[in-house]
Amino acid sequence: MKYWCFQDGFGLDNLVALQRETPQPGPGEVLLEMAAASLNYRDLVVMRGEHGKAVQPPLIPLSDGVGTVVAVGKGVVDFDIGDRASPLFLQHWMGGAPPANLEVGRLGGPLDGVLASHCIFPAAGLVMPPGHLSDAQAATLPCAGVTAWSALSEPDPLRPGETVLIQGSGGVALMALALARAAGARVLMTTSSPAKADRLTALGADAVIDRNATPSWARAVRDATGGAGCDRVLELGGAATFNESLKAVRTGGTVILIGNVTGSTAEFFLPLALTRRLRLCAVSVGSKQDFTKLNGAIDLHRIEPVVDGVFDYDDAPEAFRALDQGGHFGNICIACR
């Protein structure tokens, strides 16, 4: 098998292409020949060595991927040779409340990820993606797709007629846009350029706010909602956007904490939340049960994740650079074959 690995440290200078003997699955395990992998902002954090002491080299990066079953171990009954499957981001969270040791089961750190020609997983840690998706599209689901699903489902599901604000135009944001529209919600979005605004409108966003032209975009959100504010905000930005999110949500509304692209430490005026009975809820991807529900919704509504581009396997470092530059629209993927 071939694989990319942060071998002697983190940073792209330490991301090297290696080879070793292809492993064989043991009891209850499945061997996947990987077809595609997808990058998330989290992968940049890992690349920079900023994901905490538990994530250490040597490490195969990336959590999101899809492959074909080429071998199964004794006792595996849910998968056959030739089936297509995606691994769970959190390999040990099957459903219900998250386990106390949530972080230890994450692919792409601390567990080896999917940027390889072959990977072995427990059969319980796999699901079959919707059949109408390409390999690159299916590869985006384990982390980005499930995160979008959880952000619209917790602590209560988004309901028809409600208004949701979604930040940005990355993989989580665009999947959330598609899912929210399928749920019958009104969708407002923020973005960084008129060109991206046009593309978001074409995908069905009801209103798009250019945050560079309108830095205090919470006022624009309130104007678009008759002064009330939106029911839910998907807070993907982090420190630089958090306070605007609090101002943009209605009294009694919910802010879903997802990302920290603009920084990890935020200060805010407590009465913004206290006096208006706001709910702050963080999501950490989701369980196998969530992934299965997401796949059902994607299949029912024929949703297709947006893929900005697919890099060749040998050009994997360039995919990291493209993500770091931030000009992408949707998901950046890597072909593993």
Q: Phi and psi dihedrals of 287, rounded to 5?
A: -95, 175
- How many C-beta neighbours within 10 Å does residue 245 have? 29
Sign, Cα dihedral of 210, 215, 220, 222: positive
Tell me the β-bridge partners of 334. Answer: 37, 311
Q: Bridge-partner residues for 120, per DSSP?
A: 31
How much is the pLDDT for 81?
98
Average pLDDT score, the chain: 96
pTM, full prediction: 0.96
> Residue 261 has what pLDDT?
80
Radius of gyration of the chain (CA): 20
pLDDT digits (tens, 9 = 90+) for 266-293: 888 888 889 999 999 999 899 999 999 9
The pLDDT score that the predictor gives to residue 244 is 94
Closest by CA to 210, choosing from 222, 223, 195, 224, is 195
Q: How much is the pLDDT for 47?
A: 96
Q: Tokens for 2? A: 């071939």
Structure tokens at 125: 């840690």
Q: Which domains does the chain have, with CATH numbers?
A: 2-143+306-335 (3.90.180.10), 155-282 (3.90.180.10)
Q: Is 135 helix (H, G, I), strand (E, B) or coil?
A: helix
Q: Give the separation between CA 304 and CA 300, rounded to whole angstroms.
A: 11
Helix (H) or strand (E) holding 195: helix 194-202
Q: Are 166 and 176 in contact (CB under 8 A)?
A: yes
Residues in the chain, pLDDT under 50: none
What pLDDT, on the 0 to 100 scale, is given for residue 53?
87
